Amino acid sequence: MSRMRMSLEPRNERTIIEAVRPEVDCGRFPIKRVQGERVDIEADLFCDGHDLVAAVIRHRSATEGSWHEVPMTLVENDRFRGAFRVFELGRHSYTVAAWIDRFGTWRRDLVKRLDAEQDVSSDLEIGAELVERAAKRAKGEEGKRLRASAKRMREDAIGGTDAALDPELVLLMGTFAERKPRVTYERTLEIQVDAPNARFSTWYEMFPRSASNDPDRHGTFDDVIARLPYVEEMGFDVLYLPPIHPIGLTKRKGPNNDPAGAEGAPGSPWAIGSDEGGHDAIHPDLGTMEDFQRLLAAARERGIDVAIDLAFQCSPDHPWVQKHPEWFKHRPDGSIQYAENPPKKYEDIYPLDFESQDWRGLWDELRAVVRHWIEVGVRTFRVDNPHSKPFAFWEWLIGDIKQDHPEVIFLSEAFTRPKVMYRLAKLGFTQSYTYFTWRNRKWEIEQYFTELTQTEVADFFRPNLWPNTPDILTEQLQHGGRPLFVARLVLAATLGASYGIYGPAFELMEPRPLVAGKEEYLDSEKYQIRAWDLDRPDNLNLLIARVNRIRRENPALHGDRWLRFCHIDNDNVIAYIKTTEDGSNVILTVVNLDPYWTQGGWVGLPLEDLGIPADQPFEVHDLLTDARYTWNGHHNFLELNPHTLPAHIFRVERPASERDFEQFM
Q: Where are the domains of the chain?
A: 15-101+182-193, 122-176, 203-310+359-531, 563-662
pLDDT in tens, 577-594: 999 999 999 999 999 999
State residue 527's pLDDT score.
97
Q: Is the pLDDT of residue 9 over 70?
A: yes
CB 497 within 8 A of CB 560: yes
What DSSP string runs through 557-619?
Answer: GG-STTEEEE-BS-TTEEEEEEE-TTSS-EEEEEEE--SSS-EEEEEE--HHHHT--TTS-EE
pLDDT over threshold 50, residue 326: yes
Q: How far is CA 50 from CA 47, 99, 100, 183, 286, in A?
A: 8, 13, 10, 18, 74
CATH superfamily of 203-310+359-531: Glycosidases (3.20.20.80)
- On the question of pLDDT at 662 being above 60, the answer is no
pLDDT tens-digit readout, 157-203: 677 899 999 999 999 998 998 898 899 999 999 999 999 999 999 99
Please compute the mean of the pLDDT values over residues 452-463 and round it to a whole number: 98
From the CA atom positions of the chain, what is the Rg in Å? 31
Least Cα distance to 573 among 595, 556, 557, 551 occurs for 595
pLDDT attached to residue 661: 39
Query: How far apart are alpha carbons 567 and 591 in whole angstroms?
Result: 13
- From residue 413, how far is each of 420, 434, 469, 562 by CA, in Å? 12, 8, 10, 25
For β-strands 189-194 and 31-34, DSSP reports them as parallel
Is residue 659 predicted with pLDDT exceeding 60?
no
CB-based burial, 273-292: b 16+ in 10 Å, e otherwise? bbebbbbbbbbeebbeeeeb
CA separation for the pair 254, 348 (Å, rounded): 11
Q: What is the pLDDT of residue 399?
A: 98
Write out pLDDT tens, residues 531-541.
Answer: 999 999 999 99
Active-site hit among 413, 459, 525, 622: 413
Give yes or no for residue 10 having a pLDDT over 80: no
Q: Indicate the helix (H) or strand (E) that contains 232.
A: helix 221-233
15-101+182-193 belongs to CATH 2.60.40.10: yes
413 is catalytic: yes
Of the chain, the percentage scoring pLDDT greater than 70 comes to 97
C-alpha atoms less than 13 angstroms from C-alpha of 16 in its C-beta half-sphere: 10
pLDDT at residue 369 is higher than 60: yes
Active site (annotated) includes residue 594: no
What's the rounded Cα separation, in Å, for the pair 231 and 238?
9
3-state secondary structure 364-409: HHHHHHHHHHHHHCCCEEEEECHHHCCHHHHHHHHHHHHHHCCCCE
Strand partners, 46: 16
Domains 203-310+359-531 and 563-662 share a fold: no
pLDDT recorded at residue 158: 73
* Residue among 305, 317, 384, 510 flagged as catalytic: 384
Let me know: does 426 contact 25? Beta carbons within 8 Å.
Answer: yes
**pLDDT digit string, tens, across residues 56-80:** 999 999 999 999 999 999 999 999 9
CATH architecture, range 563-662: Sandwich (2.60)
What confidence score (pLDDT) does residue 665 get?
A: 37
